[in-house]
């Protein structure tokens, strides 16, 4: 806390001195202003994001911490502090003032982890200089499985499939506020090396390509069924609309093909939507495993693969059945 003292009656300070710190050390206002501008001066920022399907547990987080701290041996660091923040469901947050305190984190917590943020503040004196420079290193790690669960709980049902493809794309991110790019680049490269060494779920490229176009599946299925109905209706026009046919038979033809066509196209859209949802929601594992809630969520997520495959098969089979029924509508005449 800062306290300004020694003011004269006319409002002008007789002694321009401020007390700073817990010890109440007295420094001149000019020195205090210089320190303030030095600490809060403008800095540049470098950022790098990663979309790999990372499988992160506590040992990986600890390794990241040690990797960043190892850079302290390379630089002349005159002051530093750190904090670790964990974000859970329902906007709950836990913050630790050091990594040593984070080691006491309750691993039996039942709330899954959404993100973990490691933040470091360094005051570094570069080689050949005398003034320290301020650096802020922020590393954020995210759990895709926890984000997917949050979407299912918060988003309306008709939006979940579309949102899953856009949310939680980045699983890791590093930001460095810096004065010297070379020093900042060292932190980014250390983080990059750490990401490369993490366990990962291999990317399914063909699935990613299909997911980009999955939104057109319902309309495509509807179009195919409508085309089949139109084709077979056209094939039966000559036999129905002949001089020998009665008005009743003509009415049946119109009712069956219009009513049956409407029902078949609507059902085809539902089947296509089921296929789209199964493609968009296919579970590719990427997680943070820091507590019991994370373990339970990962087990639940693994069990969804069978359900998703079942949905896909049901949608595909239903689409084929609709195509067959579309070809047999004339049998109801």
pLDDT per residue of the chain (333 residues) written in tens, 0 to 9 = 444 434 334 444 444 676 766 666 777 766 666 666 555 656 688 999 998 999 999 999 999 999 999 888 888 888 889 999 999 887 788 999 999 999 888 888 888 999 999 999 998 888 877 888 889 999 999 998 888 888 777 765 555 555 555 555 789 999 999 888 888 999 999 999 999 999 998 877 777 777 778 788 888 888 888 888 777 777 766 666 665 666 766 777 777 777 777 888 888 888 888 888 787 777 788 899 999 999 998 888 887 777 778 888 888 888 888 777 776 666 655
The last residue of a domain, from among 179, 200, 221: 200
Q: Judge if 72 and 109 occupy the same domain.
A: yes
- Classified as helix, coil or strand, 219 is helix
Q: Judge if 22 and 73 occupy the same domain.
A: no
CA distance 239 to 109: 72
Q: Judge if 51 and 195 occupy the same domain.
A: yes
Q: Judge if 51 and 185 occupy the same domain.
A: yes
Distances from the Cα of 134 to the Cαs of 35, 36, 124, in angstroms? 11, 11, 6
Produce one character per residue of 108-126: b if its CB has 16 or more CB atoms within 10 Å, e if not. Answer: ebebbbbbbbbbbbbbbee
Produce one character per residue of 176-212: b if its CB has 16 or more CB atoms within 10 Å, e if not. Answer: bbbbbeebbebbbebbeebbeebebeeeeeeeeeebe
Q: How many domains does the chain have?
A: 3
Q: Judge if 163 and 52 occupy the same domain.
A: yes
Q: What pLDDT does 166 receive?
A: 57
Distances from the Cα of 34 to the Cαs of 27, 37, 42, 129, 132, in angstroms? 11, 5, 14, 16, 12
Tell me which DSSP letter residue 13 carries: B
Q: Judge if 195 and 220 occupy the same domain.
A: no
Q: What pLDDT does 126 receive?
A: 84
Q: Judge if 87 and 236 occupy the same domain.
A: no
Q: What pLDDT does 68 receive?
A: 92
Q: Judge if 18 and 73 occupy the same domain.
A: no
CA distance 296 to 110: 8
Could you tell me the residue range of the domain that residue 150 belongs to?
43-200
Q: Judge if 71 and 178 occupy the same domain.
A: yes
Q: What pLDDT does 31 receive?
A: 66
Q: Judge if 236 and 169 occupy the same domain.
A: no
Q: What pLDDT does 5 receive?
A: 38
Q: What pLDDT does 36 receive?
A: 64
Q: What pLDDT does 231 receive?
A: 78
Residue recorded with tokens 């030095």:
38
Q: Judge if 3 and 52 occupy the same domain.
A: no
Q: Judge if 323 and 260 occupy the same domain.
A: yes
């Amino acid at each position: 806390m800062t306290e300004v003292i020694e003011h004269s009656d006319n409002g002008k300070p007789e002694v321009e001195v401020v007390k700073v710190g817990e010890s109440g050390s007295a420094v001149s206002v000019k020195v205090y202003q210089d320190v303030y501008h030095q600490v809060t001066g403008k800095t540049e920022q470098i950022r790098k994001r990663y979309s790999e399907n990372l499988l992160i547990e506590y040992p990986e987080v600890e390794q990241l911490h040690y990797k960043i701290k190892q850079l302290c041996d390379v630089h002349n660091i005159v002051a530093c502090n750190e904090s670790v923040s964990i974000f859970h469901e329902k906007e709950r947050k836990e913050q630790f003032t050091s990594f040593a305190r984070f080691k006491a984190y309750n691993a039996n917590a039942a709330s899954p982890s959404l993100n973990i943020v490691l933040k470091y503040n360094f005051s570094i004196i570069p080689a050949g200089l005398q003034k320290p420079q301020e650096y802020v290193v922020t590393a954020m790690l995210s759990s895709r499985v926890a984000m997917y669960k949050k979407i299912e709980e918060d988003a309306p049902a008709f939006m979940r499939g579309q949102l899953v493809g856009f949310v939680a794309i980045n699983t890791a991110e590093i930001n460095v506020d810096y004065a010297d790019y070379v020093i900042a680049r060292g932190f980014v490269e250390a983080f990059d090396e750490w990401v490369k060494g993490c366990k990962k779920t291999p990317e399914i490229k063909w699935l990613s390509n299909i997911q980009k176009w999955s939104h057109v599946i319902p309309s495509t299925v509807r179009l195919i069924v409508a085309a089949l109905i139109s084709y077979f209706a056209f094939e039966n026009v000559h036999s129905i609309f002949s001089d020998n046919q009665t008005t009743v038979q003509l009415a049946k033809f119109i009712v069956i093909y219009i009513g049956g066509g409407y029902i078949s196209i609507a059902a085809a859209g539902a089947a296509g939507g089921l296929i789209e949802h199964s493609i968009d929601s296919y579970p590719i594992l990427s997680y943070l495993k820091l507590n019991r809630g994370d373990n339970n969520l990962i087990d639940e997520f693994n069990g969804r693969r069978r359900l998703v495959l079942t949905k896909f098969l049901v949608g595909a089979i239903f689409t084929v059945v609709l195509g067959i029924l579309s070809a047999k509508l004339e049998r109801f005449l």
